[in-house]
Amino acid sequence: MNRMRLFTPGPTSVPEEVLLEMARPVFHHRTQEYRALFANCNQMLQKVFQTANPVLTIAGSGTAAYEAAMINTIPAGGKVLALSNGKFAERWVTIAQRNKYDVTVLKAEYGCAISPSQVADALGKGTYDAVTLCHSETSTCTVLDLRAIAAHVRRTGAILIVDGITSVGAIPVKPDEWGVDILVTGSQKALMLPPGLSFLSLSEKARQKVQTVGQPNLYLSLSHYLKSLADNDVPWTPAVTLVRGLRISLSLILQEGLENVWKRTAALARATRAAAAAMGLKVFSSSPVDSVTGIRYPDGLDDKAFRGALREQFNIHLAAGQGTMQGKIFRISHMGYVDAFDTLGAISAMEIVMRRQGYKFNFGAGVAAAHQELADPAVEVAPSAKKT
């Protein structure tokens, strides 16, 4: 009888209002009705993206949007400085290499950030067409100082392409103010939708590149998306159901207030880190992001047994580590439709399972620490989705 609680860093829980909206009969997309819906979404997307620039919507995963960002703005053979400190950043390196760009990888160990000064040094040693990075590296639960990195990049001619898949709508990111040319996100994270849509904002500089960089792909041709967007339309058949859900989920975010969402997300992360510390557990990252927390397993706890028991006994879903981090860490999301008491419940369940599986700690300390953090009035901003 336990309600399913998804703490995976995508997909995240989808509010009931969004699910019900998506269950309404499908209508045709080449209509005034669709354009009005999409216009409404586009205005709200700009607010959530904190940008005055156009935000494009693609039917596809975040990988589709990030690949579109790269191939449409980096000329053939272009030089790319690719920051890499986790599995997702590595995917963007792979795309750059497959596309035969001249790629310089600036690498950090899993769980570590790449500092703004490291980026400044690298930029000083070459001229780049683009810089690629993950703002919030979901695999290592690590945040980069995007504001300071962007300040370095904007002094060069490079396009800054940012994977904001677990940062947009979760933690502060201000592309226009900071100088991010392209900001990418996906539907199934802080935007509280099922997977299937991805989004990217494009600065004036990025839009100019789109017009000059020829690339063969049609489905991911951003010049086609930009042209259609002028009429609040899309070049290819859109995923109408998900766009309908998007209207509701963006409304919920704006109703709560984007800054309140950021505060709530940060508070849940603080509470989780406090609980981990009180339980004698170590946070994996040396630069932890607020959208998802990675926690190292103590000796003797088995990933499959631990997450399996949480899932089977309590219907609480945590994420494993990826790649070489598998078995060494677990991850718990703070994005989207999740509140203080869901998080407190997850910590309670973690304590129960860890004790059963033989980990020695001060039972109750995690819950107590999280409870103290969550008693902060700032956290009492519950997601507006739950108020209705």
User: Please, what is the minimum distance in Å from the beta carbon of residue 246 to a second copy?
Assistant: 12
144 Cα distance to chain centroid: 13
Tokens of 2: 């336990």
CA distance 153 to 149: 6
26/230 with CB nearer a second copy: 26
Considering the rule CB under 8 A, would residue 317 count as an interface residue with a second copy? yes
Is 188 an interacting residue with respect to a second copy (CB under 8 A)?
yes
166 touches a second copy by CB under 8 A: no
Site for a second copy in 59-78 (CB under 8 A): 59-64, 67, 71
The answer to whether 172 contacts a second copy (rule: CB under 8 A) is: no
Where do the DSSP E strands lie in the chain?
A: 5-6, 55-59, 79-84, 102-107, 130-134, 136-137, 142-143, 159-163, 182-186, 197-202, 292-296, 316-317, 319-320, 329-333
Nearest to 280, CA basis, from 351, 349, 332: 351
d(CA 184, CA 162): 6
Of 117 and 237, the one with the shorter C-beta distance to a second copy is 237
With contacts defined by CB under 8 A, name the span among 3-11, 38-46, 154-162, 248-256 that binds a second copy: 3-11
Alpha helix ranges (H) inside 141-192: 146-153, 175-178
Q: Which of residues 217-256 bind a second copy (CB under 8 A)?
A: 217-221, 236-242
Q: How far is the CB of 244 from a second copy (least distance, A)?
A: 9
Show the binding pattern over residues 86-125: x = contacts a second copy (CB under 8 A), - = does not.
-----x--xx--xxx-------------------------
Backbone angles phi, psi at 121, to 5 degrees: -60, -45
- Closer to a second copy at the Cβ: 65 or 143? 65
Nearer to a second copy, 13 or 50 (CB): 13
Cα–Cα distance for residue pair 151/365, rounded to 1 Å:
41
Interface residue with a second copy, options 20, 52, 305, 375 (CB under 8 A):
20
Nearer to a second copy, 123 or 329 (CB): 329
171 dihedral zone (left: phi>0; alpha: psi -120 to 50; beta): beta
- Supply the Cα-derived Rg of the chain in whole angstroms: 21
Instruction: Look at residue 315 and give its three-state secondary structure.
Output: coil
CB of 200 to a second copy, least distance (A): 13
Residue ranges that bind a second copy, judged by CB under 8 A: 4, 6, 8, 10-11, 13-14, 19-20, 22-30, 58-64, 67, 71, 91, 94-95, 98-100, 186, 188, 194-196, 216-221, 236-242, 317, 319
